[in-house]
Structure 1
Amino acid sequence: ARRARRFSERVAERTGKPVVLWDERMSSMAAERALREGGLDGKAQRGKVDRVAASLLLQSYLDSRRGRQDAWDARSADDADDEDSPER
């Protein structure tokens, strides 16, 4: 989390644009669940999980910007634990 935060600070400094960090810890699991619920399992999911996870992350961020209370359970990295977990 700290490495990501430091990187985002450098990007913000260089671009002059705000950078929002978003917690993605559960995105792959949520994507796999959504694909299973959609009838895809195992081999059929291959290659789709990352795309669906990215869609879920973006949608949760957009929902949070609109103030929706039912946004997918993702939090700003500023609110996440300060653990130095392995980066993906």
Structure 2
Amino acid sequence: MFGEYVPVRAEVVDVPHFSAHADADQVLDWLRDAPAPHTTYLVHGEEGASAALRDRLDRELGWTAVVPKPGEAVLVR
């Protein structure tokens, strides 16, 4: 990245039957059986819709979710 090697600490997973066009109810239904991550970052979609999904993740799943501001950096543990 920017001419430097960056270690990859991600896992690539095939997620069958998942549509990128799912609505919030479908996304929440899909996530209900997933293990809760430390923090979920919502980085796609309009600000208002992302904020609404963040609130639902908190209220319905008890997850910590964040809608980062443009240019905001996240420190990874």
Normalised by the size of structure 2, how large is the TM-score? Answer: 0.29
Normalized per residue, which structure has more strand?
A: 2
Normalised by the size of structure 1, how large is the TM-score? Answer: 0.26
Normalized per residue, which structure has more helix?
A: 1
